[in-house]
Amino acid sequence: MEKICEKEIIIKKSKFIGILYHVESIDEVKKVLEELKKEHKKAKHMPYAYKIGNLEKKSDDKEPSSTAGSPIHNIIIKKSLDNVLIVVIRYFGGIKLGSGGLIRAYGEISKLVTE
């Protein structure tokens, strides 16, 4: 696994850290997620999406349904990426963004790391 890009944005006091990885297997995905969970213990959410050939998965990680994993996954599909994992680490800033705000935030940070 190789980290390709890392970007950060702040929206209404919440910090979103997007990281794009090149991955070859689900084992690599699991390893990355485990390491990030150790490194970012205070992060509120860590949604992700990956595509490795025909294998695809997205996770909202306790964000409201389809507000985090789907926008991340949509960027992977829209940009025709393969063998990638995008993880977004969110530190909650105390202000709720609502469904539309979350979808925009996760989509925006995912777009940034793939440019």
Provide the whole-model pTM: 0.97
Dist CA 74 CA 38 (whole Å):
27
Nearest Cα to 108, choosing from 75, 81, 64, 78? 75
Per-residue pLDDT of the chain (115 residues; tens, 9 = 90+): 899 999 999 999 999 999 999 999 999 999 999 999 999 999 999 999 999 999 999 999 999 999 999 999 999 999 999 999 999 999 999 999 999 999 999 999 999 999 9
7: left (phi over 0), alpha (psi -120 to 50) or beta: beta
How many helices and strands, by DSSP H and E, does the chain display?
3, 5
Domains observed in the chain: 2-113 (3.30.230.30)
Exposed, middle or buried by CB within 10 Å (0-12, 13-18, 19+), for 19? buried
> How far does Cα 103 stand from its chain's mean position?
12
| Single-letter code of the amino acid located at 1 | M
Q: Hey, what are 67's tokens?
A: 């507000």
